[in-house]
Amino acid sequence: MPEVIFNGPDGRLEGRYHHGKQANAPIALLLHPQPQHGGTMNNKVVYAMYHAFVRRGFSTLRFNFRGVGRSQGRFDNGQGELSDAASALDWMQSFNPNAASCWVGGFSFGAWIGMQLLMRRPEIDGFVSVAPPANVYDFSFLAPCPSSGLILHGSQDELVPEASVAKLATKLSSQRNIKVNYKIIEGANHFFATKLDDLNVMLDDYLGGISLERSMATAG
């Protein structure tokens, strides 16, 4: 899990990067929750997401947004953080020019940034959004959502009501040519405090299913 430093739009950004073993390994970028509420790339949910993609052979990067840890700059209410994410994706692509596919994943605030990046970068094939804060941030830019993906939410989330995320998932699921899986983890709060194992199982099941589908498509 090498530490990496790369250039962002407002200074250097620090991250942790795992390079996949296959020459054309898919890539995945993971985004952390609200920096002003203590969110970092070492958040337990982000860490779990990171390793779920690593287990499936992805070249995987998680990093600190500007002003977090050793990343330079200061919090920019989402605009700058979206630019940070775009720079992180550029950095990954420079090392993985022949990546088989490209994914973005995020937790809470990171899910909101990730979905915005999805709209701006047509090369992103899929997404994983954990506890997207649909009650706090506007997700209406997903019109239409360009890629299939997974939304995970806790039934006991005390910060983001499940109903607001269910409404978002229903809206996205009604769009043509994509498939949005919406899964509820029973008993999980916003930070999945006692439900990280359940989160891992759902991530592994979903990514395993995607890998199987692509293997069959290649074989066919």
- The answer to whether 95 touches 19, Cβ cutoff 8 Å, is yes
- The answer to whether 87 touches 9, Cβ cutoff 8 Å, is yes
For the entire predicted model, the pTM comes to: 0.95
Match 């970068």 to its residue by tokens. Answer: 121
For the chain, what is the radius of gyration of the CA atoms? 16
Per-residue pLDDT of the chain (220 residues; tens, 9 = 90+): 699 999 999 999 999 999 999 999 999 999 999 999 999 999 999 999 999 999 999 999 999 999 999 999 999 999 999 999 999 999 999 999 999 999 999 999 999 999 999 999 999 999 999 999 999 999 999 989 999 999 999 999 999 999 999 999 999 999 888 999 999 999 999 999 999 999 999 999 999 987 656 654 444 4
